[in-house]
């Protein structure tokens, strides 16, 4: 049975599913039909952080123009430019066993491409979620649905995988930001 998290909730993945190998991270959302009239393009990005809260190098910033980390532990399965259809809109494969020893945290964010130009924000997005599942058997381990209204924000920190005392854990963050992908790059790269 999947664990349903609330904002700030945490799960010790190593204890919940000690036999997991590879994890799938699915992100999904729908846009309001009355929104801005323009097409929405939401993008999932991943920052692989060291203890100091920065990426080891730019290659550990995974997004639509860099789909795989140098250690092959994180693979973005491609950019869904419309969000149309059921299920996950973007999918990330994470193999924690391959993760570079310097990586202590993996941050998942979603931003709206060209949000300012298109006059779009996350207040026009609904049903947003992040879920983690066992890649091999497709069994969902946890899910976090964002319930907040982000009326001005153009970027969201969905969640973090992080190491503590040798275990990998997940924290549901749900924090909005108003400076898109560049704001995250400035902070973590």
Extract the tokens encoding 173: 């963050």
Given a contact cutoff of 8 angstroms between Cβ atoms, the answer to whether 45 and 62 are in contact is yes
Does the reported pTM lie above 0.85? yes
Q: How many domains does the chain have?
A: 1
Q: Cα–Cα distance between 147 and 123 in angstroms, integer?
A: 11
Distances (CA, A) of 17 to 27, 31, 96, 107: 20, 33, 13, 20
- Give yes or no for residue 149 having a pLDDT over 70: yes
pLDDT, tens digit, for every residue of 10-59?
999 888 777 777 999 998 888 776 555 567 788 899 999 999 999 999 99
Q: For residues 5 and 142, give the distance between their C-alpha atoms in angstroms, rounded to a whole number.
A: 7
Question: What SS3 state is found at 129?
Answer: strand
Asked if residue 171 has pLDDT above 60, the reply is yes
* Span 89-130, pLDDT tens digits: 889 999 999 999 999 999 999 998 888 888 888 888 888 899
CB atoms within 10 A of CB 95: 16
Residues of the domain holding 102: 3-188
Instruction: Look at residue 33 in the predicted model and tell me its pLDDT.
Output: 62
What confidence score (pLDDT) does residue 75 get? 96
CATH number of the structural domain spanning residue 171: 2.60.60.30
pLDDT of residue 41: 83
């Amino acid at each position: 049975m999947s664990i349903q998290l609330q904002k700030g909730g945490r799960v010790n993945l190593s204890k919940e599913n000690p036999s997991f190998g590879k994890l799938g991270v699915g992100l999904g959302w729908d846009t309001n039909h009355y929104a801005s009239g323009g097409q929405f393009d939401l993008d999932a990005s991943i920052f692989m952080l060291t203890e100091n809260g920065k990426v080891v190098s730019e290659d550990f910033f995974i997004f639509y123009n860099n789909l795989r980390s140098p250690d092959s532990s994180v693979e973005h399965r491609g950019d869904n430019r419309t969000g149309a259809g059921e299920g996950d809109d973007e999918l990330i494969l994470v193999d924690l066993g391959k993760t570079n020893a310097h990586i202590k945290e993996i941050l998942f964010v979603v931003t709206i491409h060209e949000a300012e130009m298109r006059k779009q924000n996350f207040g026009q997005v609904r049903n947003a979620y992040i879920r983690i599942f066992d890649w091999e058997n497709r069994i969902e381990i946890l899910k976090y649905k964002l319930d907040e209204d982000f009326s001005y924000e153009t970027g969201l920190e969905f969640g973090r995988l992080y190491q503590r005392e040798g275990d990998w854990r997940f924290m549901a963050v749900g924090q909005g930001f108003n400076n898109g992908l560049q704001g995250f790059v400035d902070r973590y790269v």
